[in-house]
Amino acid sequence: MNITRRTSLTIITLLFYCLSQLTYATTKHATAEPDLAREKRMASEVEETILDGEVISLSANGQSFMALDMAAEGKTKGGIIILHGRGFHPNWADAIQPLRTQLPTQGWRTLSLQMPVLEKTAKYYDYVPLFALAAPRIEAGIRYLKDQGIKKIVLLAHSCGAHMAMDWIRKKGDGMIDAYIGAGMGATDYRQKMAQPFPLDSMTVPVLDIYGEKDYPAVIRMATERKTAIDKVGNPKSRQVIVPAADHYFTDQGDALVERVAAWLDNL
C-alpha cells in the first residue's frame, strides 16, 4: 500500500497528539506541590518595591502566602480578590498592578493574592494539578475581607488565575462571591486543551468576560462559546467586553482595562 507524504504527516501528528493526551491523562491526578521557595523570593522582591497598599500574610493548606491589601478611597463599595496569571505575583506590572491600585480610587478595596507557582518553564498541564491548591487561598482571601467587614465580594482572575477560579467555582459553586470577572480566559499552551470546560453556564452571579482584541487565538476562538454559556444563564448584568488593541497581558493597556472593569462594577 502506498502512503503519501501528507498521509504520513497526518498519522505522525495524530500519534503525537494521542501521546500528549495520554501523558496528561496519566499525570493530571498526580500530587503537585507549589514552588514555595520561588514564592518566597517573589514575596521578598515585592516587599522591597511595593509603593501602594500593604503586604500581609494569609494562611492556606497549612502554609502562609503573600497578599496585597489596598483600602478603598471614600465609601467602600466592596472588595475585589485578584488572581494573577501563571508564574507571576500579586503586584505583576502589566495587568494586576493597574487593577489592584486603581480600582481603590473607584471605591473598591482590593486584595491581590499570591497564587501557587511552579518553575518558570512549567506549562498549562503542569499547573492543572495545582488548581485544587488555589481553592483554599481564594477562600482565605474571602474570609479575610469578610472579617474586615466587607460584604460584597468580587473575584477577578486573569489567565491561569481564571483556570484556578473556574476550578474552584466548578467544585464549590459561586455562593461565596457576588460577582466574577474573568480576563483573558481560556489561555493554555500549544496542543494542550483545557482540562475541563468553564462552568459559566451554571453560575448565578453576574459575570464579566473581558479579553484583548489581540489576545491569544484560543481566548478569542472560545469567546463565542463563553458568551453562549453566559447568555444561557440569562443574568442581565453579565457582559462580554473586548479591550481594543490589547494583548493577552494588557501590555500598555492597563488603564483601558481598569476603565472597562470599573464601568461594569458600577452597574452591580
Indicate if 111 and 19 belong to the same structural domain: no
Indicate if 160 and 229 belong to the same structural domain: yes
Rounded CA-CA distance 239/208 in Å is: 5
Indicate if 139 and 171 belong to the same structural domain: yes
Indicate if 191 and 64 belong to the same structural domain: yes
Indicate if 195 and 120 belong to the same structural domain: yes
Which of 79, 83, 95 lies closest to 211 in space, CA to CA?
A: 95
Q: Read off the CATH number of the domain in which 100 is found.
A: 3.40.50.1820
249 and 95 Cβ atoms separated by less than 8 Å: yes
Sign of CA dihedral 133, 57, 115, 41: negative
Query: What pLDDT is stored for residue 167 in this prediction?
Result: 97
| Amino acid identity at 67 | A
Q: What is the DSSP string of 160-217?
A: HHHHHHHHHHHHH-STT-SEEEEESTT--BTTB--SS---GGG--S-EEEEEEEE--H
Query: What pLDDT is stored for residue 267 in this prediction?
Result: 93
Query: What pLDDT is stored for residue 26 in this prediction?
Result: 38
Asked if pLDDT for residue 111 goes beyond 80, the answer is yes
Indicate if 26 and 136 belong to the same structural domain: no
Indicate if 107 and 203 belong to the same structural domain: yes
- pLDDT, one tens digit per residue, over 137-175 is 999 999 999 999 999 999 999 999 999 999 999 999 999
- pLDDT, one tens digit per residue, over 185-196 is 999 988 899 889
Asked if pLDDT for residue 24 goes beyond 60, the answer is no
Cα angle 86, 214, 116; round to 5: 5
Domain of 20 in residue numbering reads as: 1-30
Rounded CA-CA distance 91/105 in Å is: 17
Indicate if 105 and 150 belong to the same structural domain: yes
Number of domains in the chain: 2
Asked if pLDDT for residue 128 goes beyond 90, the answer is yes
Mean pLDDT of the chain: 89
Indicate if 7 and 94 belong to the same structural domain: no
- pLDDT bin (cut points 50, 70, 90) of residue 4 is low
Indicate if 4 and 75 belong to the same structural domain: no
- In the numeric block, the cell 475581607 is attached to 145
Indicate if 121 and 239 belong to the same structural domain: yes
Rounded CA-CA distance 126/257 in Å is: 29
Indicate if 5 and 94 belong to the same structural domain: no
